[in-house]
Structure 1
Amino acid sequence: MASAERIYRVIFHNQGKIYEVYARSISDGGILGFVEIEELTFGERTQVVVDPAEEKLKSEFAGVKRTYIPMHSVVRIDEVEKEGQARISDTDGNVTPFPMPVYGPGKGSD
Structure 2
Amino acid sequence: MGVLQSVAKKRVYRIKFISQGKIYELFAREVGQSAMYGFVELGEIIFGEKSAVVVDPSEEHLKTEFAGVKRTYIPLHAVLRIDEVDKEGVNKITEASDADSNVTFFPSSLYPPGKDTK
TM-score tier (shorter): 0.7 to 0.9
Task: Report how far residue 30 of structure 1 moved.
Answer: 1.1
**Aligned letter for 1:55?**
E
Q: Is the 8 A contact 1:72 1:99 kept in 2?
A: no
Task: Report how far residue 92 of structure 1 moved.
Answer: 2.3
Runs of 4+ in 1 over 4 A off after TM superposition: none
> What is the aligned-residue RMSD (CA, Å)?
1.8
Residues 75/40 of structure 1: CA separation in 2 closer, same or farther (3 Å cut): same
Alignment partner of 1:20 out of 21, 25, 33: 25
What secondary structure is seen at the aligned counterpart in 2 of 1:72?
A: helix
Residue 69 (str. 1) matches residue 74 (str. 2): yes
The aligned counterpart of 2:62 is 57
TM-score normalized by the length of structure 2: 0.78
Structure 2 gaps, min length 5: 109-118
What secondary structure is seen at the aligned counterpart in 1 of 2:49?
A: coil
Structure in which a larger fraction of residues adopt helix:
2
TM-score normalized by the length of structure 1: 0.83
**Aligned letter for 1:70?**
P
- Greater CA drift, 45-54 or 21-30: 45-54
Alignment partner of 1:48 out of 44, 49, 53: 53
1:26-45 superposed matches below 5 A: 26-44=31-49
Alignment partner of 2:103 out of 91, 95, 98: 95
Counterpart-to-counterpart distance in 2, 1:71 and 1:20: 15
Task: Report how far residue 96 of structure 1 moved.
Answer: 3.1
Counterpart-to-counterpart distance in 1, 2:55 and 2:107: 37
Structure 1 gaps, min length 5: 101-110
Deviations 1:85-110 (A, max 9, x none): 0000001274333477xxxxxxxxxx
Counterpart-to-counterpart distance in 2, 1:99 and 1:52: 27
What secondary structure is seen at the aligned counterpart in 2 of 1:9?
A: strand
Deviations 1:16-58 (A, max 9, x none): 0000000000010111100000010111374111111100001
